[in-house]
């Protein structure tokens, strides 16, 4: 009898998603360097040559994981934050979608935020995704300002957007480590921190240090 494992024939797109699911799981658990294509293939229930044939080297597979998880995250945010909503509702829905993604895809968040951050060339891929997220947040704030008949300097808008994204990422990392935490309650906490500051900024309220 043949000892070669038999694999059920599936459409290529379905098979690729199985491979990516397995790869995200393994990369999140072990990190890029300690992960092996053998383990990924075993988790996916396929042969290692098939992984190489479909998605390339381990580096190419990791980049494919980054792209898929990053795209999922951005689509969740964009789909929730419709441009015709009031600024606070739009930000709230975006935060709720973001934390909902992290809560539902903790392994994906670990690959995006923890594994890719310190590894070249993956850090560059992550930086590009982060820039897109900052642009989305800056666009939300700019839209809200214009609706109020106000504008602020582009550098101030960019700084606020980076601050909001950075704080949100840190809280998302906390959420990923606390499976008992509710993503929607976490989004509410972040909204209270973010909007009380951003809301005052939109109305022209700023803090300045006292003179020495």
Domain 9-56 in CATH: superfamily? Homeodomain-like (1.10.10.60)
**What pLDDT, in 10s, does the model give residues 84-131?**
888 788 889 999 999 999 999 999 999 988 888 877 778 888 888 889
**CA distance linking residue 83 with residue 80, whole number of Å:** 10
- Cα within 13 Å of Cα(132), Cβ side: 13
Domain spans of the chain? 9-56, 65-202
Rounded Cα distance between 37 and 57, Å, is 9
Residue 162 φ then ψ, to 5°: -65, -40
CATH architecture classification, 65-202: Orthogonal Bundle (1.10)
Task: Render the burial of 153-173: b for 16+ CB within 10 Å, e for the rest.
Answer: eeeebeebbbebbeebbebbe
pTM: 0.82
Is the distance from CB of 54 to CB of 14 less than 8 angstroms? no
d(CA 76, CA 102): 11
């Amino acid at each position: 009898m043949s000892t070669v494992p038999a694999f059920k024939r599936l459409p290529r797109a379905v098979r690729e998603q199985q491979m990516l699911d397995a790869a995200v799981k393994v990369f999140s658990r072990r990190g890029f360097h300690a992960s092996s294509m053998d383990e990924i293939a075993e988790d996916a229930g396929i042969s290692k040559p098939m992984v190489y044939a479909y998605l390339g080297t381990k580096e190419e597979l990791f980049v494919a994981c980054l792209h898929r998880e990053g795209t999922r995250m951005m689509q969740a945010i964009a789909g929730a934050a419709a441009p015709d909503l009031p600024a606070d509702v739009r930000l709230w829905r975006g935060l709720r979608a973001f934390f909902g993604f992290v809560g539902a895809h903790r392994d994906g968040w670990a690959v995006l935020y923890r594994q890719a951050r310190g590894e070249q060339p993956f850090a560059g891929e992550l930086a590009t995704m982060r820039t897109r997220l900052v642009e989305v947040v800056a666009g939300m704030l700019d839209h809200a300002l214009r609706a109020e008949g106000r504008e602020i300097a582009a550098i101030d808008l960019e700084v606020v957007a980076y601050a909001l994204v950075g704080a949100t990422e840190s809280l998302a990392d906390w959420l990923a480590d606390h499976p008992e935490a509710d993503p929607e309650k976490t989004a509410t906490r972040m909204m209270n921190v973010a909007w009380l500051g951003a809301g005052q900024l939109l109305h022209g309220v700023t803090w300045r240090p006292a003179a020495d």
